[in-house]
Structure 1
């Protein structure tokens, strides 16, 4: 199933889907950049979120995806790139990310000083979708260079070089999670340059859609138990009983993949979930929740009754 078929299945406004397809066909892409378009078998589920995202992108807006851990913000960003057929440049913000990382820096090539282009520069001239991962960890130095690119001016001044006008198809997508250490409050000037979309915590129905899409060969009753682990941990975290470290959807999916490969479920879930927290007290709480859901005697055949060994691609 492709991204368009998935959105139709979710009941997304057909006019929005058609307009997104027109956008993709109108802005032609160079073959050399096709490898930068995301291509995933996993999809973000959420009709209202998709309606907001597509509408904003079509109207030339940049979007900021805000929400707690494991809500699918990065998956949604990848899906957006695929739907609109635009190359993606991803920048993960951390303490060493500065303006040169984004725009570029001088380098010596063929006996000349030339600009080695950064991710934002490449995105700007090629009509890409630039993803700013954990934008609320960015330093002021890095953010300041983006203001003119993110507002109605849509330009970037590169000191000593040239003034870049953004390609008409260029959009920027920020993601952030306030729960992570090292994050800070975003200033008003930056937030005003985005349309903000709050991604809610994962609910049972949505989680089961994700898991059944990924593991169609699993026993549904057992799959419900794995989903229950995630939801139980999420509730514990919301109540302040544990941190968000063990709430890891990637870890849960990774655990199920290793179980399908033949690993004992108890070992797999310890590796994918319990091992994500290093506090002894928290490990005990997480372990107790897992024990109520996963029987220690379960084997691969209990989760995947008709398993056939495959080579992972």
Structure 2
């Protein structure tokens, strides 16, 4: 049943059915698209910059659908065995241990592969029979093919800003999925998010968002990423703890965004221009 609580929390899944809904502020029709795709057994591809809310969105959708959520942070060393499973020694016995993707297939959970392009392409090929009409997972080492349990969903995400010739999804993978594009929220929506998540007052949130917009307009090679909603929330939380707005922004925004001394000085100058030098605003 769609509203059954997650029973195997020890497997690393988040039990979503009996918890409060993760805070997510919709900015378009992304919730309707996700739920329609899930009902039809279609896999989803989420595209957008770092810190714009993709992971929180998946958490909220899993909660709404009453499905367990298993999240995998993809990286260069991620192997097929890491996703599917492997034989391990336990005492004097060799036992098979399911990987997160296999657990999701068996349990009817949503499997979320975060930054999927970081995984090797030979690893992501295992997703193909799951992402199309077959909805099956072949496990070569066991000599079996699993049919996805009802409620299973496959969701992957990546940041197009990092894509390159060597790090991109194969066309054969992309065309098996329904895509949802994410960007940073509109000003008023982003301010509400910062207020809710950081606990600052609306005026402080407005100042932080105004600074973020200025940084996002910059054209410089020293910034790998611009100021995300995530770093604004971190700055807001430091402000709640009593740091001044400028101190909080230097720690939560300038530091994470760049290691380049010149770029860092430029960001700090922008902070001095855009943010008042006041004690922490609660």
- Calculate the TM-score normalised by the size of structure 2: 0.89
Contact 2:34–2:44, Cα closer than 8 Å, also in 1: yes
Query: Of 241, 244, 254, which residue of structure 2 is paired with 1:261?
Result: 241
Query: Of 143, 154, 158, which residue of structure 2 is paired with 1:172?
Result: 154
Query: Of 252, 277, 285, which residue of structure 1 is paired with 2:266?
Result: 285
* Cα pair distance change 1:240/1:53, threshold 3 Å: farther
Residue 120 of structure 2 is aligned to residue 144 of structure 1: no
What do you get for the CA RMSD once the two structures are aligned?
A: 2.2
- What is the match of residue 15 of structure 2? 37
Query: Of 182, 187, 194, which residue of structure 2 is paired with 1:211?
Result: 194
- What is the match of residue 207 of structure 2? 225
Query: Of 71, 81, 86, which residue of structure 2 is paired with 1:90?
Result: 71
Q: Give the drift of 1:101.
A: 0.5
- What is the match of residue 82 of structure 2? 101
Structure 1: which 5+ residue stretches go unaligned?
1-22, 305-313
Q: Distance in 1 between matches of 2:138 and 2:205?
A: 52
**Corresponding pairs, count:** 274
Partner of 1:145, secondary structure, is helix
Q: Give the drift of 1:85.
A: 1.6
Query: Can you list the C-alpha shifts for 1:149-194, whole angstroms capped at 9, x where unaligned?
Result: 2211111121231221111110011111022377722111101111
Structure 2: which 5+ residue stretches go unaligned?
none
Q: Distance in 1 between matches of 2:269 and 2:9?
A: 48
Listed as ranges, the matches of 1:228-247 within 5 Å are: 228-236=210-218, 239-240=219-220, 243-247=223-227
- What is the match of residue 168 of structure 2? 185
Residue 231 of structure 2 is aligned to residue 251 of structure 1: yes
- What is the match of residue 24 of structure 1? 2
Q: Distance in 1 between matches of 2:240 and 2:223?
A: 29
- What is the match of residue 128 of structure 1? 109
Listed as ranges, the matches of 1:63-78 within 5 Å are: 63-78=44-59
Contact 2:199–2:240, Cα closer than 8 Å, also in 1: no
Contact 2:113–2:157, Cα closer than 8 Å, also in 1: yes
- Calculate the TM-score normalised by the size of structure 1: 0.80
Partner of 1:175, secondary structure, is strand
- What is the match of residue 9 of structure 1? none
Which 4+ runs in 1 deviate beyond 6 A? none
Listed as ranges, the matches of 1:293-312 within 5 Å are: 293-296=274-277, 298-300=278-280, 303-304=281-282
Q: Distance in 1 between matches of 2:49 and 2:206?
A: 22
Contact 2:84–2:139, Cα closer than 8 Å, also in 1: yes
Residue 27 of structure 2 is aligned to residue 46 of structure 1: yes
Q: Distance in 1 between matches of 2:274 and 2:221?
A: 19
Q: Distance in 2 between matches of 1:30 and 1:266?
A: 43
Q: Give the drift of 1:115.
A: 1.3
Q: Distance in 2 between matches of 1:151 and 1:181?
A: 24
- What is the match of residue 55 of structure 1? 36
Q: Give the drift of 1:30.
A: 4.4
